[in-house]
Structure 1
């Protein structure tokens, strides 16, 4: 079942997010297995928010453990809080990119 994953972290900003993003996804045309969508934005009142949709929680956990956590540790990034929610209905309309 598809899941929505929300990561929020104080002490994050656009530059730190982009540094980690470039490390874990050097070629955006080759997303990790199971990733459906990804969005990142400033948090309120500070910090950063990343929202992903994954085909399954297993896909997300695999990426987290094998790619994201090791890269975060290498960079010494601040911790982030994660919320995972099962998705009941998902519609992803085609877009001209």
Structure 2
């Protein structure tokens, strides 16, 4: 990849028990779904990992310094 995917505003990851949690902020849910379907799902399948449907929440405010 040559930079962030279209619509991605923020990405971070953190340890979560024995695994990790990813949190991404997208401009639209459609941007997220497009990336998830085209990039994330195929890579999880290649790695033999189970896919989970992403949790989606509406964000009411966002500020960057």
- TM-score category of the 2 structures, normalised to the smaller one: 0.7 to 0.9
Unaligned residue ranges in structure 2 (runs of 5+):
none
Count of matched residue positions in the alignment of Structure 1 and Structure 2: 65
Higher-RCO chain (CA-CA 8 Å, sequence separation at least 6): 1
State the shift of 1:78 in Å: 3.6
State the shift of 1:86 in Å: 0.8
State the shift of 1:41 in Å: 1.1
Unaligned residue ranges in structure 1 (runs of 5+):
1-25
Is 1:64 the counterpart of 2:36? The answer is: yes
* Residue of structure 2 in register with 1:33 after alignment: 6
Coordinate RMSD, CA, aligned: 1.4
Distance (Å, rounded) in 2 between the aligned partners of 1:81 and 1:48: 15
Distance (Å, rounded) in 1 between the aligned partners of 2:53 and 2:38: 18
